[in-house]
Amino acid sequence: MTSHPSKTKLVVITLLLVAGMGHAIAAPGLQGAWTYSECDALFVHRGKSSSFKKPVDLFAPAFIVSGSRLRTPMASCSILGSKRVNDRHILKLSCATSIAVNHVTAILAPQPDGSMKRYSDSNDSIRTTYRRCSS
């Protein structure tokens, strides 16, 4: 059996991500379950934890931030790093789906009224406003 360096490298990187190396904790203002849809239709809350209601709507406009994790209906992400630029938190994520692992950036801005704005990129002036369903 021959060794494939690229496959070996992928396995090592995946194991490091799973082991939790290099994870950052999201700011307290980002923690919780978020959507711009109906909270009760998307989330189940048990104590201080939230999860997606079964069956999961894979296309629901929702996400959950808990510690060093950000979850969407389709992906589970590790927060690798976070920096603040003005009112925005820029999160560097490693997200795993049933198909692949990708590095992505999320730009979030908590608002004084308790809502959060999500930007698609640093030039986005339209933004999407989410509300917290739990803390």
Asked whether residue 7 is assigned to any structural domain, the reply reads: no
Asked whether residue 61 is assigned to any structural domain, the reply reads: yes
Asked whether residue 86 is assigned to any structural domain, the reply reads: yes
pLDDT one digit per residue (tens) for the chain, 135 residues:
444 444 433 333 333 334 444 567 777 789 999 999 999 999 999 988 999 999 999 999 999 999 999 999 999 999 999 999 998 999 999 999 999 999 999 999 999 999 999 999 988 888 999 999 975
Query: Rounded distance, CA 101 to CA 94, Å?
Result: 7
The pTM of the whole model exceeds 0.85: no
User: What's the number of domains the chain is made of?
Assistant: 1
Q: What is the pLDDT of residue 135?
A: 52
Asked whether residue 18 is assigned to any structural domain, the reply reads: no
DSSP the chain: ----HHHHHHHHHHHHHHHTTT--PPPGGG-EEEESS-HHHHEEEETTEEEEPSSP-TT-SEEEEETTEEE-SS-EEEEEEEEEETTEEEEEEEEE-SS-EEEEEEEEEE-TTS-EEEESSTT-SS-EEEEES--
Asked whether residue 51 is assigned to any structural domain, the reply reads: yes
Domain limits for position 90 = 23-132
Asked whether residue 76 is assigned to any structural domain, the reply reads: yes
